Amino acid sequence: LNRRLAEFGTTIFAEMSALAVSTGSINLGQGFPDTDGPEEVREAAVRALRDGRGNQYPPGPGIPELRTAIAAHQLRRYGLSYDPDTEVLVTAGATEAIAASLLALLEPDDEVVALEPYYDSYAASIAMAGGRRVPVTLRPDDGGFRLDLDELRAAVTDRTRLLLINTPHNPTGTVLTRAELAAIAELAVERDLLVVTDEVYEHLVFDDAEHLPLATFPGMRERTVTIGSAGKTFSFTGWKVGWVTAAPELVSAVRAVKQFLTFVSAGPFQYAVAEALALPDAYFDGFRRDMRVRRDILAQGLTEAGFEVFRTAGTYFITTDIRPLGEKDGFAFCRALPERAGVVAVPNAVFYDDREAGAPFVRFAFCKREEVLREAAQRLRSM
Ligand code: PMP
Ligand code: GLN
């Protein structure tokens, strides 16, 4: 592995999922649902395969049906209007969208200000693009993790090219508020920054939290690349269908890179996701309700097992502090947990440049069947 990428050997998700398999543990590490998405969407994929739609190279930017459905979704949910032909790009999951956006928009040594802890592919993608990451750390505050806007402002320099935002936020479960997003937008406009915003958990917000796309804030539509994923929204993480919506110059830059990463994304799944995006609001409401119940089961189990549990307003994840258990090193804790309790979790330290700052935090995924979460909670309580 070259020097730029030497620090990115194997992802923590691969390591922890392998550990779950080899020890027969319940896998609350890697975030993937253990129940597939809607039957009618699976049927749509089967129909496309059988009818020969998408079995040969689909159009590079994505099939027109899917681009139209993505644009319609952004309009219906958020009042954001995008031209399906020039302002929407289908990608191989959000992972490719992130990588292609950074490869397209960064010059060598450009600084990228990113929220920390950050989803692991951000650091690797910034490195692939030759950029420099500048983390702004979310810190425990009043039961959740919060962004310090002064720290964010202070992180921006003359070398900053873009802000990399993620809301709802993996791994903390923080959903940025209207006031925080407004401040981020003001900063981006004032310093003339591009913004890449990873909104893959847009439909997974709980209680009174609301997902507000950054692109809806004044001055943002023209400078924001917004990323979504059918993996998260429809529980088909294996299909690897994601997308980008942005102004035409930004989309064409990202598309130029995508051509040489994957050329196109898998065809039949695009037809199915186009149908999924048109599902009635009842689907999205039910999905959110189910996930909230699961969050509550896991949060209660973790609390009873002695963890400090941070509030999760969105995503698949709960972040905990293991210090009340007399532990302080999340890595060691997660490596021992399969033997101790038959459960796998992820040490948040892997999402930090400052590994010390992340050391006591451990992430558990609740996108699992209720009985699986209850069993995991039982095991953790009795460890
Ligand atoms: N961004 C975040 C914050 C994620 O949690 C994930 C998936 N776990 C991704 C991007 C990648 O999404 P995809 O599977 O669509 O590539
Ligand atoms: N995004 C998921 C997580 O954070 C997993 C994706 C992956 O394995 N790369 O757990």
CA dihedral 298, 303, 307, 308 (to 10 degrees): 100
Q: How far apart are CA 267 and CA 251, in angstroms?
A: 20
pTM: 0.97
11 C-beta closer than 6 A to ligand 2:
yes
Q: How far apart are CA 372 and CA 382, in angstroms?
A: 16
Pocket of ligand 1 (CB under 6 A): 31, 93-95, 119, 166, 170, 198, 200, 229, 231, 237, 242
Closest residue by CA, ligand 2 atom 8 = 13
Minimum-distance ligand to the CA of 243?
Answer: 1
Residue 82, pLDDT score: 98
Residue 28, pLDDT score: 97
What residue spans in the chain does CATH classification 3.40.640.10 cover?
39-277
Q: Of all helices (H) and strands (E), which one includes residue 363? A: strand 361-365
Minimum-distance ligand to the CA of 173?
Answer: 1
CA of 30 to the centre of ligand 2 (A): 5
pLDDT tens by residue, 124-147: 999 999 999 999 999 999 999 999
Judge contact between 346 and 12, C-beta under 8 A.
Answer: yes
Q: What is the DSSP letter of 341?
A: H
Judge contact between 250 and 279, C-beta under 8 A.
Answer: no
Closest residue by CA, ligand 2 atom 3 = 31
Tell me whether strands 26-27 and 343-344 are parallel, antiparallel or unpaired. parallel
Phi and psi angles of residue 171, each rounded to the nearest 5 degrees, phi first: -105, 0
Tell me whether strands 361-365 and 317-321 are parallel, antiparallel or unpaired. antiparallel
Q: How far apart are CA 308 and CA 324, in angstroms?
A: 7
Judge contact between 228 and 88, C-beta under 8 A.
Answer: no
What residue spans in the chain does CATH classification 3.90.1150.10 cover?
3-37+282-381
SS3 115: strand
CA of 242 to the centre of ligand 1 (A): 9
**In the predicted structure, residue 303 carries a pLDDT above the cut 90:** yes
The β-bridge partners of 90 are 243
Residue 10, pLDDT score: 86
In degrees, rounded to 5, the angle at the alpha carbon of residue 79 between the alpha carbons of residues 78 and 80 is 90
The tokens 């979310």 sit on which residue?
A: 138
Closest residue by CA, ligand 2 atom 4 = 31
Structure tokens at 27: 């896998």
Q: Percent of the chain having pLDDT more than 70?
A: 100
CB count within 10 Å of CB 1 equals 8
pLDDT tens by residue, 63-115: 999 999 999 999 999 999 999 999 999 999 999 999 999 999 999 999 999 99
Q: How far apart are CA 295 and CA 381, in angstroms?
A: 17
Structure tokens at 152: 């964010």
- Return the best residue to mutate from 30, 351, 368 for the ligand 2 pocket (most ligand atoms within 8 A of CB): 30
Residue 9, pLDDT score: 86
Closest residue by CA, ligand 2 atom 1 = 31
CATH topology of domain 3-37+282-381: Aspartate Aminotransferase, domain 1 (3.90.1150)
Q: Which CATH architecture has domain 39-277?
A: 3-Layer(aba) Sandwich (3.40)
pLDDT tens by residue, 235-275: 999 999 999 999 999 999 999 999 999 999 999 999 999 99
CA distances from 139 to 116, 119, 172, 318, 320 (A): 9, 16, 10, 15, 13
- Return the best residue to mutate from 12, 95, 169, 198 for the ligand 1 pocket (most ligand atoms within 8 A of CB): 95
Phi and psi angles of residue 58, each rounded to the nearest 5 degrees, phi first: -75, 175
Q: How far apart are CA 175 and CA 145, in angstroms?
A: 9
